[in-house]
Amino acid sequence: MGRNGSGEDGRGKLPGKLGFARPHCVQSRDTTTTFGRSTIEPSLAWLLAPVTVQTFLDEIWGARHYHVKHRCAGYFDGLLQSSSAVEQLLERYRQDPSALRLVRGKDRKRAADSYRLFDGSLDIDGVRNDFAKGYTIVIDGVERYVRAVGALSHSIEVELNFPVQVNAYVTPPASQGLVAHYDEHDVLILQVLGSKTWHLYDGVVPPREIQRDKDTAVAIDELSPPTDLRMEAGDVLYLPRGRVHAAETNSEPSIHLTVGIHAPTLLMLAVGALYAESFHDDRLNAQLPPRHLDDADVTSAVGDLLRDAVATAEDPRAIAGGLDALADVLVRRGKCPPIGPISHSANIDGQTLVQKYQPLYSRVKAVDGGVALQFATLSVGAGADHEAALQFISSSTKPFRVRDLPGLGTQQQIELVRSLIVSGFLVRLTDD
């Protein structure tokens, strides 16, 4: 970028500030109307179409890469606003430089160190200058700042029960941001603007090596030639964890989103199960004996103690505790829904049509004196006789009538729905 900050340079122009070509098509999207408003609801099914989610999970997940060609340059306009996407992102991160970095091969610059102004905000001009020199802009945690991207990430969390993080990559023309590497988790790559050529190398890095290695960069000299594929705007690419890959832009800048899907491992479940059981079985709380590192006899005894303690994880109660710990992570990751207007809770009867706020992971849990519906940072308590109704609401995916709630009388149904509308968990719909 020139010294005058105009964006002119031999490497091209910063996308967003000076623009991309307009989308050549507009895709159809599922929409929901809430009190007259039409809102886009991006989802895993929307990303994978025409492949169904179940086919993806049965035949593709964890096994091989998959390229979805939507043939629609504007497919992701509902997530980021086309030509202004980069400027929007930089503005949203102006007060949080720590979530941004620039990379060019093995050269990395953290925004917190290299692009911070005297007032602590992001030096956007400095970012533009280095972009013009061939650096890729990497922005972490986009789901926290862009509502539509957040809706997509939470929708995938609800669908798969896995935590999700979305990062954005903005790469100048004829450039490669990251060296060949693998990711420690499965990813969906969404080509938002421009195009990119991806080099996919055969085989995957075994999970045990992923667990051991801290550096995910891979020397490709001894690898077989890669399979190359070109991602056009609107395309989606799935890569399982451990698949070695690299990417480079062509003659124009590129923006893509990487949806990182962080599936918990059996090790994480086992640790959670043992921790949960430690509140009930003191074998897991036994102290190691003196000289357990130096005395062979003591070391042998420690092995017996460990085997006996680990066996407690076979108890269904322990497994339930481990799963509950994983569920708690998803509950706390949920974005608290907007509080429903009081007016929406008026004049409710059995015919009133409502729907669960989407997307939002929730659960019903037994508490002292009854049950509670837990979602995001909130918990709505009720008597034990409300359990069936709360389970119905928590697991619902489609609109329902107040009268459909099981196990409750008419007035109880109305009061429960009214409280959940005010809390934001339920949204009132019209019959239009």
Please check whether residues 377 and 297 belong to one and the same domain: no
Please check whether residues 294 and 173 belong to one and the same domain: no
Q: How far is Cα 229 from Cα 199, in angstroms, rounded to an integer?
A: 7
Which helix (H) or strand (E) element contains residue 89? Answer: helix 85-92
In the listed set 215, 233, 261, which residue is the last one of a domain according to the structure? 261
pLDDT, position 411: 95
Q: How far is Cα 345 from Cα 343, in angstroms, rounded to an integer?
A: 5
CATH number, position 116: 2.60.120.650
Q: What is the mean pLDDT of residues 287-293?
A: 90
Write the DSSP symbol of residue 116. B
Give yes or no for residue 18 having a pLDDT over 60: no
User: Helix, strand, or coil here: 166?
Assistant: strand
pLDDT, position 221: 78
% of residues, the chain, pLDDT over 90: 61
pLDDT, position 14: 53
Q: How far is Cα 190 from Cα 72, in angstroms, rounded to an integer?
A: 12
Range of the domain at 302: 266-319
Contact yes or no for 46/40 (Cβ under 8 A): no
Model-level pTM greater than 0.95? no
Higher pLDDT, 154 or 12: 154
Q: What is the mean pLDDT of residues 70-90?
A: 86
**Looking at the domain assignment, is residue 330 inside a domain?**
no
pLDDT, position 30: 43
pLDDT, position 25: 57
**Looking at the domain assignment, is residue 20 inside a domain?**
no
Higher pLDDT, 402 or 178: 402
User: Helix, strand, or coil here: 187?
Assistant: strand
pLDDT, position 279: 93
Give yes or no for residue 370 having a pLDDT over 60: yes
- For the ranges 155-169, 197-211, 268-282, 337-351, the lowest mean pLDDT is seen at 337-351
Higher pLDDT, 417 or 347: 417
In the listed set 261, 276, 309, which residue is the last one of a domain according to the structure? 261
Please check whether residues 254 and 152 belong to one and the same domain: yes
- Which residue from 33, 57, 67 is spatially nearest to 156, judged by alpha carbons? 57
Give yes or no for residue 253 having a pLDDT over 80: yes
**Looking at the domain assignment, is residue 106 inside a domain?**
yes
Please check whether residues 350 and 242 belong to one and the same domain: no
At 185-229, the pLDDT tens digits run 999 999 999 999 999 998 788 999 988 877 788 888 778 899 999
In the listed set 218, 245, 261, which residue is the last one of a domain according to the structure? 261
In which band, very low, low, confident or very high, does the pLDDT at 29 lie, cut at 50, 70 and 90? very low
Please check whether residues 61 and 166 belong to one and the same domain: yes
37 strand-pairing partners: 34
Q: What is the mean pLDDT of residues 167-180?
A: 90
Q: How far is Cα 170 from Cα 148, in angstroms, rounded to an integer?
A: 19
In which band, very low, low, confident or very high, does the pLDDT at 241 lie, cut at 50, 70 and 90? very high
Please check whether residues 49 and 118 belong to one and the same domain: yes
